[in-house]
Chains A and B, each alone.
Chain A
Amino acid sequence: MTMLLNIEEIDVRYGRNHAVKDVSLNIADGEIVTVLGANGAGKSSLLKAIQGTVKSTNGSIIFKGENINRWSAPKRVQSGLVMVPEGRQIFISMTVEENLLMGAYSRKNVDVTNEIETIFERFPNLKERRNMSAAVLSGGEQQMLAISRALLARPTVIMLDEPSLGLSPILVKQLFELIKEINSEGLSILLVEQNTHMALQYADRGYVLELGNIVASGTPADLLADEKLAKAYLGGD
């Protein structure tokens, strides 16, 4: 199987803090891969290193066969590697529609009117508020907007950092259905989650990160079968 995204032995350091240690991870075309772990395990740092907003010191990041280690974050976005940051990070000084236009920023001189209309068909709530400040949206709507915004960049891999954070159980369910849906449209997904239960239900494969190290990886069934892991990370529920 050829890998779409291949991360080999990367390190992330913030001064003396060694946040990501020698991590290798890969995603095949069309896969949903999840990275699990407790707070401070280095999950977000790993995503940021892949996106290029923090520097990885060692190793290599191969995307579509190219070593993108030295690429800037905007260049990585342009090539199809797009992240939805933790906390959604909607631009509240802009309207809903302007937020979507920002998503398409990396595609120069492309008319995205039709694509925006398609998104509005999918999320009528966003359509109703298209010319309102994005600050009026609820948490769930903001997450939909954040994901739609990322989709407008036409990604091949979309990375989601704790998308279910702060959402009600019903919305979490809807969110994961949406993730499944965009996955079935051909996108590969790298999902960082604290909601291990849901993440393993939807993912094809998972990695467990502990203090910057990958301590386990495999299919959801493998991970759930490991008693020690199940106890430590995957909860009793």
Chain B
Amino acid sequence: MVAVAFTLTIGMLNFLNFTIPALFMVAAMITWAATAAGLHWLVGASIGMFVSIIASLIIERFTYRYMKAKYGDATEHALPLVSSLGFLIIFEHVVIMIWGTDPMSFDSPFAHAQFKIGGIIFGIPQLISLGLSILLVFGLSLLLKRTRLGRALRSIAEKPDTATLMGVDVGRIVPVVFMMTGFLCALAGILFTINYKNVSPYIGDHVATNAIAGMVIGGLGNIWGAIAGGLIIGMVEVLSIHFWGADIIKVPVWGLMLLILVFRPAGLFGHTQIGKGKF
């Protein structure tokens, strides 16, 4: 899901948004903190979601829009990327200042919800996460394909100047992408918290690198590819732990990504032109 969020901003705005892992982490931490403070986990999750979406809008204001206003076209510069990296680090350290660096354990309401098929244990929350991701991407692709808003988003992705000539107010549509980003990241963060029962200010980093790899494997700007890429990464991780142990885990993941970049630069399901992909 984080891969989907990445691919959305890349595909739409040609902007590698590094605040995505921060939003993910913030939502996860808030869910944990609120629950630890005695609130129902759903309340905690809602607060996390809300904060993440608001934060994403603030980020839009100060990275993408600011650069665009100042230099005409934000996407031609590395500046939004760097300023989003700044936001990532600031968010991480604000969280560290408040809650410290230790991993916190989260009492999952679904801790024992699991079943076995042929010796493999499936957690119910994991299956729900997968189902929810697929459902979301399905909804997202329907939104992009069938609705007026979806067409506006796609027109901005392809030709922002021409979109303006059609009457699309780019300045008002772009925040929608950031809101969706915030929503997706928060949902991913919440599901992560429930699944792994463990949060720390650094979870964003690990997830981000995997999500970027997943996005590249699936094809930049392709939301179905992002889901598939995410699943492939997950599988490669599990299999390599099984066969070679946990220490080596990053090597096959990034090795696979590099191989795919060499042989299929557009990704497995990708399109050669970023932002002009199929949704």
Residue B272 CB within 8 A of the other chain: no
Task: Assess the B152–A105 pair: CB atoms within 8 A.
Answer: yes
Task: Assess the A77–B162 pair: CB atoms within 8 A.
Answer: no
Q: Which of A141-172 contact B (CB under 8 A)?
A: 149, 153
Chain A positions 58 through 81: 1 when the CB is less than 8 Å from some CB of chain B, otherwise 0: 000000000000001110011000
Task: Assess the B167–A91 pair: CB atoms within 8 A.
Answer: no
Residue B179 CB within 8 A of the other chain: no
Residue A125 CB within 8 A of the other chain: no
Pick the residue among A53, A85, A102 that contacts B151 (CB under 8 A).
Answer: A102
Q: What residues of chain A lie closer than 8 Å to B165, measured between beta carbons? A: 51, 53, 73, 77, 82-83, 85, 89
Indicate whether A105 sits within 8 Å of B168 (C-beta atoms), given known contacts A93-B276, A94-B151, A98-B151: yes
Chain B positions 158 through 176: 1 when the CB is less than 8 Å from some CB of chain A, otherwise 0: 1101111111110000000
Q: What residues of chain A lie closer than 8 Å to B163, measured between beta carbons? A: 102
Q: Which of B47-100 contact A (CB under 8 A)?
A: none
Q: CA separation between A72 and B169, bound complex, in Å? A: 8
Residue A103 CB within 8 A of the other chain: yes
Residue B206 CB within 8 A of the other chain: no
Q: CA separation between A92 and B148, bound complex, in Å? A: 17
Task: Assess the B167–A78 pair: CB atoms within 8 A.
Answer: yes
Q: CA separation between A134 and B157, bound complex, in Å? A: 16
Looking across the interface, which residue of chain B has its beta carbon closest to that of A51?
B165
Pick the residue among A72, A92, A93, A153 that contacts B166 (CB under 8 A).
Answer: A153
Residue A106 CB within 8 A of the other chain: yes
Task: Assess the B161–A85 pair: CB atoms within 8 A.
Answer: yes
Q: CA separation between A85 and B162, bound complex, in Å? A: 8
Q: CA separation between A93 and B166, bound complex, in Å? A: 16
Chain A positions 89 through 125: 1 when the CB is less than 8 Å from some CB of chain B, otherwise 0: 1011110001001110110000000000000000000
Looking across the interface, which residue of chain B has its beta carbon closest to that of A133?
B278
CB distance from A71 to the nearest CB of B (A): 12
Task: Assess the A105–B151 pair: CB atoms within 8 A.
Answer: yes
Task: Assess the A94–B162 pair: CB atoms within 8 A.
Answer: no
- Spell out B's residues near A (CB within 8 Å): 148, 151-152, 154-155, 157-159, 161-169, 276-278
CB distance from A142 to the nearest CB of B (A): 12
Count of chain A residues with a beta carbon within 8 Å of a chain B beta carbon: 23
CB distance from B274 to the nearest CB of A (A): 11
Q: CA separation between A77 and B169, bound complex, in Å? A: 11
Q: What residues of chain A lie closer than 8 Å to B148, measured between beta carbons? A: 101, 105
Q: What residues of chain B lie closer than 8 Å to A85, measured between beta carbons? A: 161-162, 165
Indicate whether A93 sits within 8 Å of B157 (C-beta atoms), given known contacts A98-B151, A105-B151, A105-B152: yes
Q: CA separation between A26 and B90, bound complex, in Å? A: 54
Indicate whether A74 sits within 8 Å of B167 (C-beta atoms), given known contacts A53-B161, A91-B159, A105-B148: yes
Chain A positions 40 through 66: 1 when the CB is less than 8 Å from some CB of chain B, otherwise 0: 000000000001010000000000000
Q: CA separation between A94 and B159, bound complex, in Å? A: 11
Pick the residue among B151, B167, B278 that contacts A77 (CB under 8 A).
Answer: B167
Looking across the interface, which residue of chain B has its beta carbon closest to that of A103?
B166
Most buried by A among B163, B164, B165: B165
Q: What residues of chain B lie closer than 8 Å to A74, measured between beta carbons? A: 164, 167-169
Question: Besides A105-B166, A153-B166, 8 other CB < 8 A contacts?
Answer: A73-B167, A83-B165, A91-B158, A93-B276, A101-B151, A105-B152, A105-B155, A105-B168
Q: CA separation between A82 and B164, bound complex, in Å? A: 11
Q: CA separation between A53 and B164, bound complex, in Å? A: 8
CB distance from A4 to the nearest CB of B (A): 19
Q: CA separation between A91 and B161, bound complex, in Å? A: 11
Looking across the interface, which residue of chain A has its beta carbon closest to that of B169?
A74
Task: Assess the B164–A73 pair: CB atoms within 8 A.
Answer: yes
Looking across the interface, which residue of chain B has its beta carbon closest to that of A76?
B167
Q: What residues of chain B lie closer than 8 Å to A153, measured between beta carbons? A: 166-167
Q: CA separation between A120 and B155, bound complex, in Å? A: 22
Task: Assess the A106–B162 pair: CB atoms within 8 A.
Answer: no
CB distance from A166 to the nearest CB of B (A): 17
Task: Assess the A91–B168 pair: CB atoms within 8 A.
Answer: no
Task: Assess the A93–B168 pair: CB atoms within 8 A.
Answer: no
Q: CA separation between A85 and B165, bound complex, in Å? A: 8
Q: What residues of chain B lie closer than 8 Å to A105, measured between beta carbons? A: 148, 151-152, 155, 166-168
Q: What residues of chain A lie closer than 8 Å to B276, measured between beta carbons? A: 92-93
Indicate whether A89 sits within 8 Å of B162 (C-beta atoms), given known contacts A94-B154, A102-B151, A102-B155: yes
Looking across the interface, which residue of chain B has its beta carbon closest to that of A78?
B167
A-B contact pairs, 25 of them (CB 8 A): A53-B161, A53-B165, A74-B164, A74-B167, A77-B165, A78-B167, A83-B165, A85-B165, A89-B161, A89-B165, A91-B154, A92-B276, A93-B158, A93-B276, A94-B151, A94-B155, A94-B158, A101-B148, A102-B163, A102-B166, A105-B151, A105-B152, A105-B155, A105-B166, A105-B168
